[in-house]
Amino acid sequence: MKLVLENNNRNIIGPRLRTARLKNNLTQQQLSAKLETLAVYVDRASISKIEQQKRIVTDYELLALCQILKVSPNWLLGLEE
């Protein structure tokens, strides 16, 4: 099944993911390595695509990112400041 979107964005967390990653002084490669310790395999290039809103994020990835970056899912989704 093809995903139909009104714009080219594949996720809504991209900009906030980048903000949280930089606030935690992590490179994309370091974030990838930390995700791997939680058995969530997202390579550096995929993190870049997520931040550019060019890649879909699974619920498992979302929760792992929140755990590593110490932010809530609602914050990462833009539902709270």
- Position 6 scores a pLDDT of 62
Question: In terms of DSSP H, where are the helices of the chain?
Answer: 14-23, 28-37, 44-51, 59-69, 73-76
65/62 Cα distance (integer angstroms): 5
The model scores a pTM over 0.95: no
- Show pLDDT as tens, one digit a residue, over the chain (81 residues): 455 556 789 999 999 999 999 999 999 999 999 999 999 999 999 999 999 999 999 999 999 999 999 999 999 999 988
Q: What is the pLDDT of residue 5?
A: 55
pLDDT for 1: 45
Which pLDDT value is given to residue 79? 93
Domain ranges of the chain: 14-76
The CATH homologous superfamily to which domain 14-76 belongs is lambda repressor-like DNA-binding domains (1.10.260.40)
